[in-house]
C-alpha cells in the first residue's frame, strides 16, 4: 500500500536534538495520544460518523508527520480521505492497517528509547 519507511530516522534525530531530556516524554505522549486516536476512530466507525472519522484521522496524521512516522501518517491520510468521501465501507480494513503499523512504530520507538 505504501513504501514510506516506518520511521524517518533523520527527523527523529533532529527531534531528539531539540527535545533533549524531554524526548522520552514526547515519545510517551505520542504513544498514548495515538492509542486514544485509534480508539476514537473505532468509535466513529461504530456510530457511522464519517465526519468525526475524517477529523480524527486528520489530527492523528499531523502528529505522525511531526514525530517522524511517515508510513503511519500515510495510512491516516487514507482514513481521512475515506471519511471525507463519506464512504466507510473499507474503514475496518484501514483501522486494522493503522493498528498494525502503530504496533511496529511503537516497538521501534521503544527500541530507540532503550538505546
Partner 1 sequence: MTDDSLRVLIADDSGTDRLILKRLLKRIGHEVLEAADGIEAVAIFQREQPDIVLLDALMPQMDGMEAARHIKALSGGRMVPLIFLTSLSEAEDLARCLEAGGDDFLTKPYNRVIIEAKIHAFGRMQRMHDTLSRQRDMIHDRNQHLLEEQTIAKRVFDNVAHTGCLDAPNIRYHASPLSIFNGDVLFASPRPDGGMLVFLGDFTGHGLPAAIGAMPVAEIFYGMASKGFGAADILKEINRKLGRILPTGRFCCGAMAEADFKLGQLKVWNGGLPELWLIGSQGEPVACSSRFLPLGILPPERFDSSMETLQARDGDYLLMMTDGLLERQNGEGELFGEAGVRRTFRERREAGHPFEALLEGVEAFSEGARESDDLTLFCLEVSGDTGLAALPESATSSALAGPSEWRCDYEIREQTLGEFSPLPLLLHICMEVPGLRARSGEIYTLLSEIYNNALEHGILALPSEWKHSPDGFEQYYAERQRRLKTVGDHFIRFSLHHTRKPWGGQLRVICEDSGPGFDFSRHPVLGGGERHADWPRYAGRGLFLLKRLTKDITFHGKGNRVEIVYDWKRPVAESDDGAATDPGKQRQ
CA dist., res. 64 & res. 12, Å (int): 11
**In the complex, least distance from residue 16 CB atom to partner 1, rounded to whole angstroms:** 11
Nearer to partner 1, 14 or 92 (CB): 14
Q: Please tell me whether residue 13 binds partner 1 under the rule CB under 8 A.
A: no
In sequence order, the 6+-apart residues with CB closer than 8 A to the CB of 101 are 6, 71, 72, 75
96 binds partner 1 (CB under 8 A): no
Handedness of CA 50, 51, 53, 58 (dihedral sign): positive
Residues lying near partner 1 in the complex (CB under 8 A) are found at 11, 14-15, 18-19, 22, 25-26, 29-30, 33, 55, 58-59, 61-63, 65-68
Amino acid at each position: 500500500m505504501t513504501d514510506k519507511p516506518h520511521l524517518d530516522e533523520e527527523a527523529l534525530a533532529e527531534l531528539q536534538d531539540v527535545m533533549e531530556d524531554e524526548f522520552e516524554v514526547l515519545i510517551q505522549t505520542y504513544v498514548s495520544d495515538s492509542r486514544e486516536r485509534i480508539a476514537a476512530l473505532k468509535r466513529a466507525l461504530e456510530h457511522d460518523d464519517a465526519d468525526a472519522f475524517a477529523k480524527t484521522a486528520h489530527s492523528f496524521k499531523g502528529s505522525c508527520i511531526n514525530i517522524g512516522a511517515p508510513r503511519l501518517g500515510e495510512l491516516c491520510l487514507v482514513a481521512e480521505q475515506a471519511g471525507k468521501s463519506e464512504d466507510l465501507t473499507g474503514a475496518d480494513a484501514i483501522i486494522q492497517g493503522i493498528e498494525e503499523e502503530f504496533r511496529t512504530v511503537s516497538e521501534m520507538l521503544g527500541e530507540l528509547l532503550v538505546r
